[in-house]
Every structure is written in C-alpha cells, then in structure tokens.
Structure 1
C-alpha cells in the first residue's frame, strides 16, 4: 500500500532487492510524502 495515496501495488522484480524500502506506488508519491 502506498503511504501517500493508499493505492495497493504489487511486488515487482525490479524491487526485489529493495522491497522493504518500497513504500510508494510511484516517484510522484515518493516526492509528495507527508512530513
């Protein structure tokens, strides 16, 4: 689930090594994170 828009997203191969760090569905949401 994206922390910004709450949209669920699925595991992706490119995120395999950083899955624990993936908290946003997109770069846009990553930049718009609250706080």
Structure 2
C-alpha cells in the first residue's frame, strides 16, 4: 500500500546520505531516480567523489 503525501513529510520515504549520513527525504525532482540518489547535497557529492578518487 502506497502512502500518499498530505503535507506531512514523515510520510515520505527517506534514506541516509552516503557521505555525511544525514537523512534525506524524498523530493519530487528525485522521483524518477530515487534509487540512484546517494548524496544529500552538491557539497557531499563533491567531497564523496574526492574521497574515493
């Protein structure tokens, strides 16, 4: 059963950022690639890639 968004962000799926561990909530802009989203921000993405290089 899918939970619908009714203005309550607690109903949205969330997952931790790979770099900092901060919890990120689902966003409409991430709807098509939610499974591929790893970082909470551009800064974490840049620092996470630099750490792996």
Which interval holds the TM-score relative to the shorter structure? 0.7 to 0.9
Higher relative contact order (CA 8 A, sep 6+): 1
- In structure 2, runs of 5+ residues without a counterpart are 1-15
Report the count of equivalent residues: 35
| TM-score, L = length of structure 2 | 0.62
Report the aligned-residue RMSD. 0.7
Q: Which runs of 4+ in 1 moved over 2 A?
A: none
| TM-score, L = length of structure 1 | 0.88
Greater share of strand residues, 1 or 2?
Answer: 2
The structure number with the bigger radius of gyration is 2
